[in-house]
Every structure is written in C-alpha cells, then in structure tokens.
Structure 1
Amino acid sequence: MTADGTRVELAANIGTAAEAKAAAEQGAGGVGLFRTEFLFMNAPAMPGEEEQFRAYREAAAAMDGRPVIIRTMDIGGDKALPYLDLPREDNPFLGYRAIRIGLGRQDLLKDQLRAVLRASAFGNVKVMFPMISGLQEWREAKGVLEEAKEELRRSGAAFDERIEAGIMVEVPSAAVMAGAFAREVDFFSIGTNDLVQYTLAVDRMNDKVAYLYDYFHPAVLQLIRQVIEASHRAGKWTGMCGGMAGDPLAAPLLLGLGLDEWSMEAGRLGVIKKELSALDREACRSLADSVLTLDTPQAVRQALEEFRRAIGHTL
C-alpha cells in the first residue's frame, strides 16, 4: 500500500517450484514470472506433462491462492537445450527462440499448456507467452491453449475454465501494438531486459556497447507508458518482470505511470515495498509527466534522484 492508500502488487520471479515457497516466506504477493525454461535446462531429457504438472502444482500450492503466472518456456538466445538439437544461429536473440519454438513444436507447447491448465485446478494460475511480436503469434498460441483445454475436457481433467492468458511485452512491435493486443489478452507483463535490448539495438552481453543499455532511455519509457495506458483503457492490467521492477530509483516513476504489478527477485521485495509505501501516487504522476518530457537517460536519472532526495530517500 502506498502512502496515499493505493494498492499495488509485489510479486516474485522464480525459476523452480521450491523458490515459490521461499518467495512466499519473504512476503511475495504472488509469482509474477515462473521461468519454466529452468525445468527443461536442469533435466537430461525433455520433461513430460506429468513432471511439469507436479512442479506447477507445487508452486501454486506454495502461493496458497495468490497468483502464479507461468511463462511458457523461453528457450533460445542465451539458453540452449542440447536434447532439442536447436540450430546454431549467428544472431540467436533475433532468431528461433521462445514462442517461435513453441509454435514450431506445438507438441511440446501443448504438453506444457496441459500441465499448466491442470495445475490451475490447485491455485490461482495464469499463463503467459514470451516474445510475442504480432497478433498472429498471439492468436496461434491462444489456439493451442484452446486445443489443450478441449483435450482436458474430453479426458475429464479439472482445470480453471477462466484461466487468464497474457503476453510478455519485450519486443517493441508488441508495445507499439499494445492497443490492439489489449482487446484480446487478459494482461501484459513488461520484460524490460529484452525490451531495452531490442528497442535500443544493444546487446547487453557485449561489453563494447553495454553502456548504451539503459531502461531510463526516453524511448523505452514512452513504450512502457504506451503499454500501461493501452491496458487500462481496455480494463486490463500491466505488470513488469524485468530488472527495472527491482530498482528503487524507478519505483516512483513506475507508480506514476500506473504500473499495477512489480515482479522481481525475491530478495528485492523488501526494498521496493519500503520505497512504495512512502510514495504518494499523485506526486508520482506529476513526476512521470515531467520525466516523460526529458530527452536523455542521464536527464531522467537526475530528475529521479532529485525527487528521491526531496522526499528524503537515498540509495
């Protein structure tokens, strides 16, 4: 709860079901991102539907009714699976990864979605698709989800018929098209790590250009605002699960922009909770309006630092 009584949700990013219990013990209001690819990367062979189901059910049970957003596997880029025999690519971050593999191997995607759906009978589970770049990809993924639902209905398996389905916003085209997406998805979660990389054409793993990687770049902030506003116009909500969500310097700006959910490493929850609890949303809205007129990341950081000093906060 902010100082003026605005309620926001603070959630945790996890990579295993065991981490869900630890996050709950640290006060997480839910799981904003279950990185399911770690189930696959830590296994000698492709985990089947039953193995996945047990992991997702365990995470849902640990959260005891609090939301658990399960992202379908985000393999590719810097995350390889030897047993999938993926092709070597010169530019893997722009290649065959995430939902592109899921739609290319719909047998694997459907197995995962069946497991997620079955776990939804044991808690407040939502499903999220990564690296969606256009409406056609979203519709194809949603189609596979509907097929999985129908198969479970025929088999008599229990699941949440009203399970929410959303997308990661990490490709600039999805942010630009947020208004169209908002009419069809249930929620957005902004993945700032990739959104910054793709918006600024900066390889964050490359030391020669890493200095250009900055989520306070005005172009990135404009996209974030566009996504949040589009979701709210459609009566939907927007979360953030990238590194920016765990940065206290960004907290007043994100609150002012209207972000509904922050998801981060569990160890950052206390810091961000303390930061948000001292903020007034109207003051943060004025700050956001002012910051969005600035034209360099350096000017944005300076404005945010001055705001924090003015309210007695220091990093």
Structure 2
Amino acid sequence: MEQYTGKSIYKSVAIGPVYFYSRGEQQVKRCKAEDSQAQLERYETARDRAVEELQQLYQKALKEVGEVNAAIFEVHAMMLEDEDYNDSVKNIIFSQQVNAEYAVAVTGDNFAQMFAEMDDEYFKARAADVKDISERVVGILSNKRAGSSIGREPVIVIAKDLAPSETVQMDKSRLLGFVTELGSSNSHTAILARTMNLPALIGVPVKEEWSGKLAIVDGYQGILYIDPDEETLEKMRKKQQEDRERSRLLQQLKGRLTVTPDGRKINLYANIGSVSDVAAVLENDAEGIGLFRSEFLYLEKDTYPTEEEQFQSYKLAAEMMAGKKVIIRTLDIGADKQVEYFHLGQEENPAMGYRAIRICLEEPEVFKTQLWAIFRASAYGEIAVMYPMITSVEEVRRIKAIVEEVKEELDARNIPYKNVEQGIMIETPAAAVISDMLAKEVDFFSIGTNDLSQYTMAIDRQNPRLDAFYDPHHPALLRLIRMVIDNGHAHGCWVGICGELGADLSLTKEFLQMGIDELSVAPGMVLQVREAVRKAE
C-alpha cells in the first residue's frame, strides 16, 4: 500500500480504480509558411470554432454546475477575442512567416508565463486558462483533439492538472473523485469539485503507473491510498456508509425549525451567486438568502448590466423564495474580482484598494442603477439590501442620501417599492471597532468573516504559502465578532454571519453563545448547520 498526503478540496470518500488523465499536450512544429494571409485566415476560422465550442460548454456547465461555475467558459471565449492575444498571433505569423499552430502555441506560452509571474493570485490563476484556450485552438488547427473520455466504468481521475473545460466534459456519472498535482483550492476545477460534491485532493505527486490500480481518496484526512490493504479498505468503506447514512438522516431535518434545545430561533439562510443557485437553496431547505452576490451579474457580462436586466434577476429570486428574505449585497468588485469594462487599473495592493462601496460612491450612476433595480424588485417579495466594505459612519450616511434620491426618482416614475431593510457588511476591523456607532445608522449587520479574517491577521487567504499562519479561529477575530454582536444588539440591530466561518461547525456553539441571530452558508451546508444548532446546549 502506498500513501500520499495532499490538500483536501471536499470532505468525502471515494473508492475505485485510477484513471490517469493525460492531456496529451500536442508537440507543435514550427513550419515555414510563405502565404501568411492564408495562415491568418486558418487561425481566425479555428478561433471562431473554438468560441462556438466554449459557448456550448457554457450551456452544458450551466445545467450541471450552475451559472457562477459555468462563467469560466464565457471568460475563455472573451480571452480568445482579446485584442492583445490576437495581435500577438498575427504578428508572429507575418513577422516570422510561420504556420498558425506555432504562432498560437508561442502566444499561449508567452501569455501564460506573463500571468504566472504576476504577484496577484487572480492573474496567476489565468495562466492555466490561457494555456487551455491556446491548446483548444491548436487542436482545431491540427485536427488532433485531446478528449475528455474517462471510459465506461466509475473511476478516480488522477492528473497533473485539469482545465475547467476538461472537467466539465467528463461524464459525471462515472466520476468518483479528483486528485491533481497542480492547482489551488481557489481554482475553477476545485470549485467545480465542491459544486459536484466530489472528494478531491490537490498537491499530490501523481504517477502514471497508478492507472488501473485501486485507490481511495480520503477527503477528510487529505490522504490518497494506492493499492490499499484490506484493513484500510474496510475502514474507508465503513466511512462511506456512514456518510450515506448521515446524508439520509440530514434529509429528515427538512421542514424543521432551526432552533436551539432551549427554544432560541436562529435564521438559517444560504449564500448564492446567481438566480440559478436558488434551486439549491430551496432543495436544501434554507429559510432565506443571506447573501446574493450581485457582482456576478457584472462579472458575466462585457458591459454594465442594465437596470432592467438586474431588476429581472432580483425579481425572479424574490418570487422564487416566495416571501422568504432575500438579502442582496450591492456591487462588490475589485481585488480578486476584476471587471475589464470598469477600467480599475493595476494596484499595488488591490485587496485594500479601489473596490466595493468605494467604487459605488465614486460612480453614483452605476450605484443608482443597481439600487433602482433592487428597490423595484422589492415589490415582489421580501428583499433587503446590504453594502460591502464599510469603514466609516460617513460612508453609510452618503449611501442613505443616495438611497433617498433613488426613492424620489422611483416615486416620480410611479414605480412601487417597499422600504427595505438596509444593512452593512462588517468585514474590516475599522467597521468592527466602531460598530456601536454604525448600528445607529442601519437595520442589521452581516459579518463577512473571509475579509475580516485576512484584514485582522494581515494574511492573504488566497496565498498558499501562508496557510500555516492563517488561523480562522484566531482569538482576535472571535473577539471582534463578539464585539459586533454586542454593539449591534445594544442599538437595535440584528447580526448575522455570511462568511465561511458561518459553516464552521466547530464554532456554531460559540456563535450561539455570543448571541448571533442569523447564519448564512453554502446551500449544501444548511442541513448540517441546522443539526448543529438543534443539538447545541
């Protein structure tokens, strides 16, 4: 038996034969080409076909893993239409008089290296994307396509790395789990694995010789077993059975109240990225939506979404939730969420730069367009709105003044709306420390523990080199959370948590002791958190 340790992406167990997936990267030959115009036309034809394929992949992913996770294929299509990328291919074809395959391969390598050498983790992740799209075009040009077939039997797919397009094209009914050597926990493939509830490990030194051997992926301990002995196999089979039984028992919590043994009711909501995620909210019996990440409406488009487009999305969510609360967070772009048409530019430290509410206050027409849509949708359900990255009372007062202008303009247009609850995200230490002052201005707080953690500890949570230093249970962070809850309650605000810690079952009891009113978690965690609340003493 061989045993390897990696970083777990999803906590579950898979047992089955290994399928070693090799991308079969094509060896591209440099060939002299006298007719450069003909080579350019070959490239443009292949590029257009690649864009069509990516659009088909987007539709397939949309059905299987939702709009947010499918968006990567729209990004890939946009990258293929990027002016700099296309100019590079054209320049190599004409200046070096070479074949289109070679020009695309060199452009892909150059752009991938450029992204990989950037300090920003978001742009580093784009290196794999540009390689993926370049290989797709080369495959079309050479008529040699790397397939994503994994055979007819259920298998554990092991690979050096997996591009999102490869993952989506695999037959999900035959996919037991993933193990890769490269990639990060924030990669698109990792997100897809979590969405599909598949155990996955990254950072494992994989070997092609494992192909066909029996393996176990232990997503709880982050261990890969190759040729496991009978004792290990029996133990993992038992763990699998326990998982299935636990899932069955959790289903019995549907329709039950999220209430502590001493009778205290907690509002248990779910986080979503788009309207398509509402189905998972309803399936998992969440009591509302505690975080609608509205920025995905902007990330998925190549220009500003209109008031009507946003209104239709918010209205649909409100109608589908049928009177249950839907809390929409206003635009939160910047940092790792870049939108090209905003022209935000490069920043030395984007996490602390021009982002979220700062953009909205500097560009009030963009902000007003979103607020018009939100308030219009409020007539169709129970909508609330919250504002991200607040650091001062003055910001909140400026927001409230803009909201009053929005209401006046809706009145002038004879459009009905409700006076919705308005809250703020507490995700900066500044907001936590002055939460007693902020509570006098708003109806509720939602603690964004992801950003609050990294700002409190001065640690970039997307940097894998800092994993050893990152402590999501740091006493300073927990003290800030308690302070926010106490200050909110003292001034009439209800307080919730919508960051990752909301689903940390080891902290559920502590949050209840602090007096938290609401927890908003990934849809798949709703029933587990409900169980933890109902058992908490």
Instruction: Note the alpha carbon deviations across 1:40-95, whole angstroms, 9 max, x for none.
Output: 10112110000000000011111111110000010000000011111111100000
The residue number in structure 1 matching 2:97 is none
Secondary structure at 1:87's aligned position in 2?
A: coil
Match of 2:368 among 110, 119, 127: 110
- Residue identity matched to 2:422: A
Could you tell me which residue of structure 2 aligns to residue 31 of structure 1? 289
- Deviation track 1:13-66 (CA, whole Å, cap 9, x = no partner) reads 001012123202211110000000011101121100000000000111111111
Deviations 1:248-299 (A, max 9, x none): 111001011011000011000011011111112xxxxxxxxxxxxxxxxxxx
Amino acid across the alignment from 1:107: E
Give the Cα–Cα distance (whole angstroms) in 2 for the partners of residues 9 and 87 of structure 1.
Answer: 40
Shift of 1:247: 1.0
Correspondence for 1:260: 517
Confirm or deny that 1:205 pairs with 2:462.
Answer: yes
TM-superposition CA deviations, 1:170-196 (whole Å, max 9, x none):
010000000001111100000000000
Q: Does 1:70 align with 2:328?
A: yes
The correspondence for 1:47, drawn from 293, 305, 315, is 305
For residues 107-186 of structure 1, the aligned pairs below 5 Å read: 107-160=365-418, 162-186=419-443
- Aligned residue number for residue 229 of structure 1: 486
Cα drift, residue 210 of structure 1: 2.8
Match in the other structure for 2:51:
none
CA distance in 2, matches of 1:232, 1:249: 24
One-letter amino acid of the structure 2 residue matched with residue 81 of structure 1: V
Deviation sequence 1:111-160 (CA, Å, 0-9, x none): 00000000000010001000001111111112111111110011110100
| 2-structure distance, mates of 1:145, 1:223 | 29
CA–CA distance in 1 between the matches of 2:375 and 2:470?
Answer: 37
Aligned with residue 194 of structure 1, among 446, 451, 462: 451
Kept after mapping to 2: 8 A contact 1:77/1:92: yes
RMSD: 0.9
Match in the other structure for 2:270: 12
1:217 to 468, 474, 492: 474
Q: Aligned to 1:2, what secondary structure does the other structure show? A: coil
Measure the CA separation in 2 of the matches of 1:50 and 1:59.
14
Counterpart-to-counterpart distance in 1, 2:466 and 2:493: 36
TM-score computed with the length of structure 1 as normaliser: 0.87
Map of 1:301 onto structure 2 = none
User: Within 2, Cα distance between the matches of 1:192 and 1:62?
Assistant: 28
Partner SS state of residue 465, structure 2: coil
How many residues matched?
A: 279
Residues 443 and 492 in structure 2, CA contact (< 8 A), matched pair in contact too: no
Say whether the 8 Å CA contact 1:14–1:20 is kept in structure 2.
yes
Query: Are the counterparts in 2 of residues 4 and 279 from structure 1 also a CA contact under 8 Å?
Result: no
Number of the residue aligned with 1:94:
352
Question: What secondary structure, in the 3-state scheme, does the structure 2 residue paired with 1:211 have?
Answer: coil
Quote the offset at 1:8 in angstroms. Answer: 0.3
1:260-279 equivalence runs, <5 A = 260-279=517-536
Residue 474 (structure 2) pairs with residue 249 (structure 1)? no
Structure 1 gaps, min length 5: 281-315
Q: Name the SS of the counterpart of 2:502 in structure 1.
A: helix
Structure 2 length normalisation: TM-score?
A: 0.51
Tell me how far apart the structure 2 counterparts of residues 109 and 86 of structure 1 sit (CA, whole Å). 16
Moved over 4 A (4+): none
Q: In 1, Cα distance between the equivalents of 2:394 and 2:468?
A: 35
SS of 2:400 mapped into structure 1: helix
Q: Percent identity?
A: 46
2:292·2:328 contact (CA, 8 Å) conserved in 1?
yes
2:498, 2:422 → 1: CA distance? 16
Structure 1 equivalent of residue 340 of structure 2? 82
